[in-house]
Amino acid sequence: MNDDFATAMRRAVRSTRALNLAEATRVIQDALAGRSVSDTRTSTPDITPPPSQRSTPFPVDPDAEVIEPSAKPEAEESAEKVGDGTASRRLRKSLSETVRILREGRLASGVLGSLHTAGLPGTAKHVSEPVMPDGAQFLARSFTCPAGSRSYRLYIPASAPDRPRGLVVMLHGCKQDPEDFAEGTGMNAVAETHGLVVAYPRQSGANNASSCWNWFRPTDQMRDGGEPSIIAGITMEIMSEFNLDRSRTFVAGLSAGAAMAAVMAETYPDLYSAAGIHSGLAYGSANDVMSAFSAMRGDGALASSPKRRANGHRLRVIVFQGSADLTVHPSNADRIVAAATPSSSGSAVRKEAGRSASGRAYTRTIVTDPAGGPAVEYWLVDGAGHAWSGGHPSGTYTDPRGPDASSQMVRFFLDGQD
């Protein structure tokens, strides 16, 4: 290794530790291209992915990773190792691994969110205000608490403007916004049918460059602080306005939003009665950007031991996951299901195979509690990628072939009402 390359590696390591991954990317790619260290101060990196990766869906920060065909999850790892400190160390990348990722363009494309995705199905596009039935409202609001401020959109159905049946809090994925997420999931139409209000909190670009919820940061994985406290505050504000209790309050999300929905389920189990997690990760899967990449690839167990609240509340959970997801490995869905499954010997499990109206096959795993009520559902959609199942093509990151995740989530939420 020559002196220039060694110097570049040291600079890249310092930038990575400081979470300045854009600078680390630039330095390493210039070094690999043979440009001198002094040149890296002003050069512009080429972050176009190799041709074999240009069709990879959902290449955004930090919720983007390509899974090599040979990559295998460590689902068989013993539970005794989780939380003993080894998992956190194991999830961190070595310098050689970081160089390999950057050489392939994967970390750069994930962090900067600037792959050439024009023309790919489900990529970013302009989304206009939705067409709504007479009497419905799609309001623009904002919420502020000590942890910060976020705006949100609130759908109030014409079918129940004053006394809605419940509330669904929808957390969008990276490079999405409330309007796009509402359009793509079609959740407003489902909510209209069932008399539900729907809140869509907006992650700001100032808090994450690609508008991702920061599910992987320790400060955003705790109660009464960070982004969870902001989302909880929005939830409680709406619950108070419409006189809703926990049994009628639900949270759901896609990708980074799904991972944050898992955080909300863990940190505010007294606020929500059920969670919908679509292409997401279990609570405690990561504690920084690098361990987030590892978790998404399915390379490790939990990065930290979840601190479950002993208050008697257990959320019901419905999970959707594509079997061909190249961004979040399906083993993450297995971890979510395992964490949500009741430990009581009285619970029962059964599996059903089916096909959506458009012919896409899926396997539905149903777990009931000792009383026979719905506890967990897991929909593994055959051949689906990183996109909302059954979504509308007018929104981003959707798979119109189904099955319809929005309808099934709402059905599951309402089935368990007290």
Residues 348 and 256 in one domain: yes
- Kindly state the average pLDDT of the residues 45-70: 33
157 belongs to a structural domain: yes
Residues 230 and 374 in one domain: yes
Calculate the alpha carbon distances from 343 to 2, 335, 348, 350 in Å. 56, 14, 11, 16
**CA–CA distance, 365 with 353 (Å, rounded to integer):** 9
Torsion sign across C-alpha atoms 409, 411, 416, 418: positive
**CA–CA distance, 73 with 36 (Å, rounded to integer):** 39
> How many independent structural domains does the chain possess?
2
Residues 164 and 75 in one domain: no
**CA–CA distance, 76 with 305 (Å, rounded to integer):** 17
Residues 198 and 341 in one domain: yes
Residues 141 and 80 in one domain: no
pLDDT at 387 over 90: yes
Residues 396 and 286 in one domain: yes
> For the segment 253-295, what is each residue's pLDDT rounded down to a tens digit?
999 999 999 999 999 999 999 999 999 999 999 999 999 999 9
**CA–CA distance, 394 with 122 (Å, rounded to integer):** 8
Structure letter (DSSP) for residue 79 = G
- Predicted TM-score (pTM) of the model is 0.73
**CA–CA distance, 237 with 249 (Å, rounded to integer):** 12
The structure tokens 């195979």 sit at 353
Residues 80 and 195 in one domain: no
**In the structure, what pLDDT confidence band is assigned to residue 61 with cuts at 50, 70 and 90?**
very low
> For the segment 329-362, what is each residue's pLDDT rounded down to a tens digit?
999 999 999 999 987 777 789 999 999 999 999 9
Structural domain for 226, as ranges = 137-415
